[in-house]
């Protein structure tokens, strides 16, 4: 009898572990008493920690990391792109620096259409006409001036030194350059700098970027406005004029980042603090969490066919709403309050059948009341005081437009592809987008970037974000679910395999070793279309505070070889 009871107890424990633990080994998060910097590149993460050790706070360190990644992670780290920085001060005050790129003044609604009204292939993704007005330098400078402790010259120096003295390429950075050689070879400066005029860099090579070092030196000496009104601005504009680009001196001079109030939602007693428009990420994230709150995911079991079916159906509906409603709220009316309301989620949940898929062609945007690239990168930091930064920024596609502005060493974005070139025609990520995201001068394109902070009982618990174009939103969603519903630590939650569905195309993407053949067959039987081949999704980096000890935990995604560094 005792043996039977023991067996029952053991079986119950194993079932509980099966429902909550990730499928596979995962290293422990980095543990630190003072601060952590987590990014895709170990060199940049170390820069962040060194800045905090010199007396800087998390905001100082984040600015230094962002500038360093422009040197060490050129496919997405940048000063020629844009993004969003969420800052939570130790006292709980939270704001967002929106330094998303803007459309040039010369941009027009149909600028990427031919005489027949069809979208011109690659017009919004490759070359000078794909470039939006960069916001990174202005955004990082604004964050520093509002919340930092150190001087601009102090936080830019590590990046300048890395560009001037060079660094050794790791496997991931070298692979990124080699993978984009067709794009980079089309533009003389990019070809010369990154491909050595036909001899692409390899792992273990040392890369020195003297033109970028000179640009960073000018910014160090004359301040961040030099990028928009000084010699660097002149060089960018001259290169634009010579090659048919649209960005002018006036565009650069008039660029200003915006300060945004974060969106807030709740999920099973946790507070979700996330991105408002022009990112679609925050509203879609809260909408999906509101729907999932109707179900006991932990009882279904992690990555069971029942749980994955529910995730896909929830993603499908949120991305349909994204296509219809989302855009730059400075230009169009976005029904955010309706999209993130619990009542709206109640109605959406009622449309989900537990045992069969809803074809995407039959799913249209809902009726709520009230009114982005896989090659993005994210970094997250926390300091000794408890200040937290969650930052996502991008050139859009890998190496952006492919253009390096003559004489600057600065790679320029192709962010104009994140607008709707033509309603109903997919962009570079296969996303269908609506009239709300149509091109207009000064407008910011819709993004999927979703830097997010999660609180429990008013106290910081963890911060997370990821690159990945439209997969960003679903990556952040699944990490939150992994932690809250399945009891994972932050490293396990990041390591665990993910899925992605974005309404159109109607296909479930999955990761290697993430969804076994039996589960895929069960999903197909329910009516889901599952992609034939797997592929990795996202590259998340996060920090967490261990509630009982106050120890800082750092976690970086193994998918691109990132590193969390603590002190």
> Which residues have a catalytic role annotated?
376
Q: How far apart are CA 1 and CA 276, in angstroms?
A: 59
What does the alpha-carbon distance between residue 440 and residue 151 come to, in Å, rounded to a whole number?
36
Helices 471-484 and 281-292 pack at an angle, to 10 degrees, of 40
Give CA–CA dist 453/264, Å, rounded. 10
**Omega before 46 within 30 of 0, i.e. cis:** no
Closest C-alpha to 325, from 377, 365, 282: 365
Which residue, 496, 444, 449, 445, is CA-closest to 468? 449
Tokens for 195, please give them.
């491909």
Main-chain phi, psi angles of 263, to 5 degrees: -80, 150
Rounded Cα distance, 188 and 239, in Å: 12
- Closest listed residue to residue 513, CA positions, set 565, 558, 561: 558
Q: Which two tokens stand for residue 316?
A: 């499908």
CA 102 to chain centre: 18
Mapping DSSP to helix (H, G, I), strand (E, B) and coil, where does residue 226 land? helix
* 359 touches 527 (CB < 8 A): yes
Angle between helices 305-325 and 517-526 (to 10 degrees): 60
Map residue 95 onto helix, strand or coil.
Answer: strand
- Using an 8 Å Cβ cutoff, are 359 and 352 in contact? no
Q: 491-517 burial string, b = 16+ CB within 10 Å, else e?
A: bbbbbbbbbbbbbbebbbbbbeebbee
Token pair belonging to 250: 């006036």
The answer to whether the beta carbons of residues 146 and 236 sit under 8 Å apart is: no
Closest CA to 56 of 34, 79, 77, 71: 34
Residue 256: CB atoms within 10 Å: 12
Q: What is the DSSP letter of 488?
A: -
Rg (CA), the chain: 23
| Total residues found in the chain within this entry | 567
| Cis, bond preceding 20 (omega within 30 deg of 0) | no
Sequence-ordered list of residues with C-beta below 8 angstroms from that of 122, at least 6 positions apart, any chain: none
Helix-strand-coil split of the chain, %, nearest 5: 40, 15, 45
């Amino acid at each position: 009898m005792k043996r039977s009871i023991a067996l029952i107890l053991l079986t119950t424990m194993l079932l509980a572990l099966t429902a909550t633990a990730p499928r596979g080994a995962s290293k422990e998060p980095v543990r630190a008493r003072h601060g952590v910097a987590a990014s895709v590149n170990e060199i940049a993460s170390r820069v962040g920690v060194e800045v905090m050790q010199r007396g800087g706070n998390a905001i100082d360190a984040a600015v230094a990391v962002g500038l360093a990644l422009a040197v060490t992670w050129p496919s997405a780290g940048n000063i020629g792109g844009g993004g969003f920085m969420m800052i939570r001060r130790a006292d709980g005050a939270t704001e967002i620096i929106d330094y998303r790129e803007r459309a040039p003044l010369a941009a027009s609604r149909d600028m990427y259409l031919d005489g027949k009204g069809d979208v011109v292939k690659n017009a919004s993704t490759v070359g000078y006409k794909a470039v939006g007005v960069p916001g990174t330098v202005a955004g990082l400078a604004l964050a520093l001036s509002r919340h930092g402790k150190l001087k601009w010259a102090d936080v830019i120096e590590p990046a300048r030194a890395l560009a001037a003295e060079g660094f050794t390429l790791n496997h991931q950075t070298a692979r990124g350059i080699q993978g984009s050689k067709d794009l980079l070879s089309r533009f003389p400066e990019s070809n010369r700098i990154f491909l050595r005029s036909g001899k692409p860099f390899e792992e273990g090579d040392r890369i020195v970027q003297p033109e970028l070092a000179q640009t960073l030196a000018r910014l160090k000496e004359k301040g961040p406005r030099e990028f928009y009104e000084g010699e660097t601005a002149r060089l960018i504009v001259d290169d634009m004029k010579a090659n048919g680009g649209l960005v002018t001196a006036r565009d650069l001079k008039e660029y200003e980042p915006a300060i945004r109030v974060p969106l807030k939602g709740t999920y099973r007693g946790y507070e979700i603090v996330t991105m408002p428009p022009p990112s679609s990420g925050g509203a879609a994230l809260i909408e999906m969490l509101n729907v999932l709150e109707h179900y006991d995911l932990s009882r279904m079991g992690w990555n069971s066919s029942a749980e994955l079916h529910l995730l896909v159906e929830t993603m499908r509906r949120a991305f349909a709403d994204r296509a219809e409603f989302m855009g730059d709220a400075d230009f169009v009316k976005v029904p955010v309050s309706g999209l993130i309301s619990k009542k709206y989620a109640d109605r959406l949940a009622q449309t989900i059948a537990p045992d069969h898929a809803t074809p995407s062609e039959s799913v249209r945007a809902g009726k709520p009341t009230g009114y982005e690239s896989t090659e993005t990168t994210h970094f997250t930091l926390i300091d000794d005081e408890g200040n937290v930064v969650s930052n996502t920024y991008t050139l859009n596609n890998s190496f952006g437009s492919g253009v390096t502005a003559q004489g600057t060493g600065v790679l320029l974005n192709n962010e104009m592809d994140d607008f709707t070139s033509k309603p109903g025609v997919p962009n570079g990520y296969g996303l269908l987008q609506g009239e709300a995201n149509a091109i207009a001068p000064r407008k910011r394109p819709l993004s999927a970037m979703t830097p997010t902070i999660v609180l429990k009982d008013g106290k910081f618990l963890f911060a997370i974000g990821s690159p990945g174009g439209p997969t960003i939103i679903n990556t952040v969603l699944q990490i939150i679910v992994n932690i809250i519903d399945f009891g994972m630590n932050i490293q396990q939650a990041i390591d665990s395999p993910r899925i992605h569905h974005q309404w159109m195309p109607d296909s479930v993407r999955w990761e290697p070793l993430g969804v076994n053949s039996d589960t895929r067959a069960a999903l197909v039987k329910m009516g889901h279309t599952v992609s034939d081949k797997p592929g990795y999704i996202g590259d998340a980096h996060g920090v967490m505070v261990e509630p009982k000890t106050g120890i800082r935990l750092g976690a970086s995604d193994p998918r691109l070889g990132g590193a969390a560094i603590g002190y």
